[in-house]
Amino acid sequence: MKTWCRHFYLNISWSLMAILIISGCAGSSAPIQNLRTGVSKTASVSRLAEGRTGFVVSENFKYDEALRKLFERGVSALGSGNYDEAVRSFEAVTKEAPLLCPAYINLAIAHVRNGRDEKAEKPLKKALDLVAGHPLASHEYGLLLRRAGRFDEARFVYEVSLKHFPEYFPLRKNLGVLCDLYLNDLGCATRQYEKFLDAQPEDAQVKLWLAELQGR
């Protein structure tokens, strides 16, 4: 069966999902309006309509019930801490559906949680090849690069993603921390914290970080 699968980013306060699922496919009733197309060969982006803040990434791929069950097995294993099983499941999914971006992201998350950062980079790169600047793939990849001390590369990943998905504000927070604590670029950090707080002014932690930054 061939269908559009939609991954929703409902609002700027939405907390980052650690596990992506193939749900909301073929028949979701959430109203959307076209925002931009051509993000990649396999995906497009639309803005939610009727006053709702956020966007949706739609991917075009083929799947059947067996593939869905295999994917869900990986999600279950990842959620229960059985990371070896999650890796096996998502590796199998990527072989059956090589254009399914969430499988690569989940595979990378399973590797990271299993303490194998070095194995997570390849699937994250593949996810970003499929959907340029994908916010969740960029989030995971940026953190991976930061842990590896590759700070300039992490900044590049965040900045590219924000060009495609400027409404995904957790990336602004991550970029602000990177610029603040690792790159000593206080101007960058200030800009990102301010943009984040414009959208999420109730975040007391970022307010404190910005105040400390401005006091230096």
Write down the pTM of the prediction.
Answer: 0.80
Contacts of 204 (CB under 8 A, 6+ apart): none
Strands 2-9 and 55-62 turn out to be antiparallel
Looking at residue 109, what is its pLDDT? 94
List, as own/partner pairs, every contact residues 138-141 make where C-beta atoms lie below 8 angstroms and the sequence separation is at least 24, other chains included.
138/171, 139/16, 139/170, 139/171, 139/174, 140/105, 140/108, 140/109, 140/112, 141/108
DSSP-assigned beta bridge partners for residue 62: 2
Ramachandran angles phi, psi of 17, nearest 5°: -80, 130
Looking at residue 48, what is its pLDDT? 58
Closest CA to 209 of 195, 196, 193: 193
**In the sheet where 43-48 sits, what is the strand order?**
2-9, 55-62, 43-48, 32-36
Q: Over its length of 216 residues, how does the chain's per-residue pLDDT go in tens digits?
A: 333 344 443 333 323 333 455 443 333 334 444 444 335 555 555 555 665 556 666 666 666 788 889 998 999 999 999 999 999 999 999 999 898 888 999 999 999 999 999 999 999 999 999 888 988 899 999 999 999 999 999 999 999 999 988 888 889 999 999 999 999 999 999 999 999 999 889 999 999 999 999 888
Looking at residue 30, what is its pLDDT? 44
